[in-house]
Copies of this chain bind each other. A is one copy, B any other.
Amino acid sequence: MPLPVPVLPEGVDPAWLPPAAFRAVGGRRTLIRGSGPLVETVHGEMAEACRRFGGRVVRDASDDGPYDLVLAVSAGDLGEEGFTVVREGGTTTVTASGGRGLLYGLFHVVRLGAAAFTGERSQETHRPALATRMLDHWDNVAVHPVMGQVERGYAGGSLFWEDGRARGDLQRVRAYGRLLAACGINAISVNNVNVHATEARLLTDRIGEVAEIAGALRPYGIRTHLSVSFAAPIVLGGLSTADPLEAAVRSWWAEATRRVYEAVPDFGGYVVKADSEGQPGPFAYGRSHADGANMLAAALEPFGGTVHWRAFVYDHRQDWRDRSTDRARAAYDHFVPLDGEFAPNAVLQVKHGPMDFQVREPVSPLIGAMPRTRLAVELQVTQEYTGQQRHVCWLGPMWSEVLRFRPEERSVGALARGGLVAVSNAGDDPFWTGHPLAQANLYTYGRLAWQPDAEPREVLDEWIGLSFPDAPARLADGLHAVLDGSWRTYEKYTAPLGVGFMVQPGHHYGPSVDGYEYSPWGTYHFADRDGIGVDRSAATGTGYAGQYAKPWAEVYESPDTCPDELLLFFHHVSYGHTLTSGKTVIQHIYDTHFDGVEEVEAAREVWAGLVDLVDPARHTRVTELFEEQLRSAREWRDQVNSYFFRKSGVPDAHGRRIY
């Protein structure tokens, strides 16, 4: 039985799967070969496309050929997710070894569009570079008094939960799964890594709600994961301890996990934030994080599950007066000594930078420093520190820089073993992502997880082609003009030269240069009347630069070789210090802040000019958000410039207005 395509609720945007995206495949004669649930998903997609565009789809070859398109599962060595595409004699053939591969192959043909059905095409093999391509939802079941329904969520409520319960809107969940499959994501964690009381119970008596979500995502090749509390044996099991080496604790987890798999046979595993920002963890029992992770890995192992153990462990109650403690060092210091101790089904999940998803950070030195550990790199698609989906900020170029960074050769293997994880930016907003153009971030993330060395600009082309299938080149040009440079624009009008933070405490939206300067969070810039930046050199600073292998340890060690964009992350320099660009630090701060605002103004003009090419709801929403982005960018410019002018006393070389 072909699986019907999910019906979107009235008013919900189809994102990158509008019906017209299927025009090219929907008008053909198609043969589908193979069996299994995901083949039925493929059949449902083709049936809907053909219904719309006049084609025909059959399931066996007894029907007369020839076919324009053949989608076939057959034994082979492509793995569960790989596929080949070839076009010969007027037939385009996709072959996969499994149903998931066939689904990915179908979406590949959809992306190709008419080009998939013209001329000849020699055989190409596609396989994902990373086996796990995961989204973590920081969704709360019960509305949190401070963080709300979705922690760091900027797209309405949760797709899964509402006011303490599962929403039950499984059509919307299926539609979400379909969008994710179309960009290659194959795993979701459905609740916040900060596991509060209500959410903890998803593991036990409320697993049925998780099972329903898992059932809706399964036809799209997505396995469901769950964030759990390390203290679950105490808070749910009534034990007196959560010590990972205690037999009763281990049995409790084994039994709890067995029951999870009864409810969700293809359950993906657990996500754990332990000993981090107040969450419980193994330190309370004098155990290591390997002890903690391995206990959960042992419980999951019989069923093929994985534990994702987050490396985001640092002292969040640091004294700002203590300059010897450096939060940037923390993950490396905590975890590198444990390399080799983690179980094969334990994945250490490492944020891409050493701090916390700033607009500019160096790549974490932990990546590459644990060759005997499965590492997953964690990105943040939700724009916590990059405009909170009120600002246009397409993160493809940043992620691409991260994914192409090579600390040493062996890191490539480490990354591939553990996969890529990202914090989702989606919610129950009609556009899924609050800002309609933030859809591009979600799509780009999925595609980079499949192919980390893809050109982000080409991924953006794909997204444009799918989302606006009938649009003229002028729209594509306009979208590129608005999106391509938007991350660097955002960087220009916010915190300069890699120094980070300078945001409003708590919600993290908008500027506050000293907002975290005297806080316990370990995020400082040390600006005084003479200079700014954090000395993280090995010679005179915190030693963080020495956590890198060569060549980076040497490059970062000196202000003379450190790249401009990371200068203040690694060094404290005077305002008069001259950058590679030839500008002084202070003039760079002024110039980038004036430039950044002008770039937002220019992007807003480009968008205004696209009014005839974009549907009114989308155009209006983005237009309104540009007003807010521009207001906010000016606020950033004026606060940052005033702050540094008041402190340095150096006037702008061009005499522009500084308040």
Contact = CB atoms under 8 A, between A and B. Distances in A.
Interface residues of A, number: 27
Contacts of A635: 518
A647 B528 contact: yes
Interface in A524-565: 527-530
A518 B321 contact: no
A68 interface: no
Contact of A512 (B514, B528, B646): B514
B506 A642 contact: no
Interface string A576-593: 000000000000000000
A512 B506 contact: no
A229 to B, nearest CB: 24
A647 B529 contact: yes
A89 interface: no
A638 interface: yes
A233 interface: no
Contacts of A505: 504-505
A648 interface: yes
A518 B511 contact: yes
A143 B643 CA distance: 38
A271 B6 CA distance: 55
A568 interface: no
A506 B507 CA distance: 12
Given A145-B145, A646-B529, A647-B529, A638 B321 contact: yes
Given A321-B659, A506-B506, A638-B321, A646 B518 contact: no
Contacts of A659: 320-321
Contacts of A529: 529, 646-649
A528 B638 contact: no
Contacts of A511: 518
A496 to B, nearest CB: 16
A23 to B, nearest CB: 48
A140 interface: no
Interface in A491-527: 504-506, 511-515, 518, 527
Contact of A518 (B506, B512, B530): B512
Nearest to A649: B529
Given A506-B506, A512-B518, A513-B514, A527 B646 contact: yes
Contacts of A321: 638, 659
Residue with the highest number of chain B CB atoms closer than 10 Å, among A512, A527, A643: A512
Contacts of A645: 528
B647 A518 contact: no
A393 to B, nearest CB: 22
B639 A518 contact: yes
A518 B658 CA distance: 13
8 contacts: A511-B518, A512-B515, A513-B518, A528-B645, A528-B646, A529-B529, A529-B648, A647-B647
Interface of A: 145, 320-321, 504-506, 511-515, 518, 527-530, 635, 638-639, 642-643, 645-649, 659
Given A511-B518, A514-B514, 6 more contacts: A512-B518, A518-B642, A528-B645, A528-B647, A529-B647, A647-B647
